[in-house]
Amino acid sequence: MSEGVARTGRRVRVLQGIGLSLMVLLGGRLAYLQSVDSDAYAAAADANTIREVVTPAPRGLILDVAGRPLVQNRTQLQITVDRTNLSRQPDRGAAVLDRLGRVLGVSADDLRAQIRPCGAGVTAPCWNGSPYQPVPVAVDVDSRVAMQVLEFRERFPGVDAVSVSVRNYPQEGKAKLAHVLGYLQPADEKDVAAQKEAGLRDPRLGVANLVGRAGLEKQYDALLRGAPGVTRVTVDHLGHVLQTVEAAAPRPGNNLLTAIDAKVQAIAERALAEGIERARNVPDYRGRRYAADSGAIVVLDSTNGAVVAMAGAPTFNLSDWVGGIDAKTYAKLVSDQAGTPLLARPYAAADPPGSLFKVISTAAAAKAGYDLDATYPCPSSYTVGNQTFKNYESHAYGNITLARALEVSCDTVFYKIAHEMWQRDGAENPVADPADPMQRMAEIFGLGRPTGIDLPGEIGGRIASREFKQSYWEQTREATCGRAEAANADRAAVYGDDAARATFLHQLDRENCIDGAKWRAGDAVNFSIGQGDTMTTPLQMARVYAAIANGGTLWRPRVAQAELTPDGDVVRRFAPVSDGKVDVSPKVLKYLLAALEGTSRSGTAAGVFAGWPLVEMPVGAKTGTAERFGEDPTSWFVGFAGPEGDRSRYVAVMTVSQGGTGSGTSGPGVRSVLSAMLGVDRAAVWPNGLPPALPGRVEEQDGGE
């Protein structure tokens, strides 16, 4: 008995010791938390009870050169659901969502999906914003629907009808400007991180906010967005809002004044559409109709690089993106049948420039020592080895000057010069440091690299060269040799049923497999007339001709002109930025200018400018027809003219892919744009042919976004 009592006593003492140890440990931990780490835990407690609700600021307007709104804001009615309020209902809001679904014509399950927070494993639709912010479940609703919610609030606790600001495009019925203006989409985590890292106006960019995704909306997003409003609220452990601690109203974004003229833009877009339609439906003199699958037009001020108008086709409606583009509309935009309307063809797509390139070849010839006053043979064809290169439509003009070669667009003059340059550089076994005069001149005029326009997504195009051909051969040799080998057994299976085409492609692949890296005479002569692997954007070619028109300055194209406050005061002006003078003598530039003016009087552009007052208002022009194997030729045309005293101020370039000849398809469009700007055949868009003056006088800045 005594032994059992003793054992029990020992057990009690052990348990007492364990209990005392636990009390000491807990007491020590409590003291640590209260004294050593109290600040950190206090901050964590605050973070758990204070929440921020971010209200986006009204975005700034985008204006044309005359102050007309290109992008503005309009009020839209939205139905929103407050998840916190809904969760307080006895059934956690099930009945409210049922009633709301009947009003909106959607199921309650759809509404529940829209308001659930996005996260791992949650697929769209879901809410990507703050859980303490009302969730929009219907946008652009009819006022009668909104009144049903507002008049019977007791039936819709947590549901509200609110007015919000969304983008509006007042010129869209006249000028779409889609590729210039761009559109908005909700910010994602990358945008939030980038905003904080850049230290822009306010790092509190929530994923519920809208940011620019293309065009000016993206390029100048920080300028247009403004500063969001922030409301700080306290919440309990269940997430219910207890009170508002602090509220700061949003600050509207600033406005952006552009060089675009809405009236000229509308005319340019119409000219492009009419050119494409003309190529597709009006037979040329040979009875041909063309595929004419896309096109672009660019209008520059040659004195400063300002973009007066710019359009691509096919295009899209910016209004489709307001409130979020729906899946059906987006699927149409990216379908094969749509023709890639989201691609900004003026500066983000490139094609061989055809005969527009010949001004570069002429400048290269002059720099290499060819006499501008001499004459050169222009036969109907030129033979290199066993290959014959013909003039377009096989015309022959006898012995002519380089200026006349530009006017009548004689290919064979440039073939011979390019062939001679290639031979001096060592032909197929080049010297240690080949001069490649035409490639170097293309670089001098800014080809092969982006122009630096203040729009995102610009590409640099490509200059065909020895280096490019070597690199391309290394990248494609395996595929090229594979096709050639497979075609030895079954040519039709590789290249199709067209026997002539299959034979040509097979021979081409066999030659390229073996020595496709060599820069051959055929490459050189094709390069001289803008054919082959050289690719340029319409904007690049507009800048080339602007440099000729203005005496040699390569201006960096710019759409934005000034930043304005919401009240219209000038904050800053964006000064023109020069990339320097082209390394071409003034004598050669004047020679080119005179030759291009001759093109409109008695050359390939004479028909386009028939009836134009050429004596009082000279016009420089150049036609281009770029050919590709298996496709219709691509139409190019450039024209430049100006008011009295500034006769080559405005440069317009138009191109239509698979559109036929330059003069037949694109020329009339360029003429209509220049006519509107200068008041020929119609009233001038601008008095005296000059754009409106910029508002205010402030220090100019080179800065952009």
| Burial (Cβ within 10 Å: 0-12, 13-18, ≥19) of residue 580 | exposed
Question: If you write DSSP's letter for every residue of 512-552 in order, what string do you get?
Answer: HHHHTTS--HHHHHHHHTT-TT-BB-HHHHHHHHHHHHHTS
Chunk the chain into consecutive blocks of 10 residues (it has 705) and report each block's average pLDDT, rounded to whole numbers: 55 56 58 54 56 76 95 87 84 88 88 84 73 79 83 84 86 94 82 65 56 95 84 66 76 94 97 97 86 97 98 96 81 92 97 98 98 97 92 88 98 98 94 96 98 98 95 94 92 90 90 91 96 97 98 98 94 95 98 98 97 96 92 96 92 97 97 97 90 65 49
- How far is 93 from 114, CA to CA, in rounded Å? 14
Q: What is the pLDDT of residue 263?
A: 96
Query: Whose CA is closest to 698, among 574, 570, 575?
Result: 570
Going 339 to 341 to 345 to 348, the CA torsion angle's sign is: negative
Q: Coil, strand or helix: which one is 459?
A: coil
Q: d(Cα 256, Cα 219) in Å, to the nearest integer?
A: 11
Contacts of 246 (CB under 8 A, 6+ apart): 230, 231, 232
161: Cβ contacts below 8 Å, ≥ 6 apart: 77, 78, 79, 80, 141, 145, 146, 147, 149, 150
Q: Is the dihedral of CA 240, 243, 245, 250 positive or negative?
A: positive
Strands (E), 183-228: 184-186, 210-212
Number of H helices, E strands in the chain: 24, 24
**Is the preceding peptide bond at 314 cis, omega within 30 degrees of 0?**
yes
For 642, half-sphere exposure in the C-beta direction (CA atoms, 13 angstrom radius) is 18
Structure tokens at 73: 């804001």
Percent composition of the chain: helix, strand, coil (DSSP 3-state, to 5): 40, 20, 40
How far apart are alpha carbons 558 and 74 in whole angstroms?
A: 28
Range list of H helices, 239-348: 262-281, 327-333, 345-348
| pLDDT computed for residue 230 by the predictor | 76
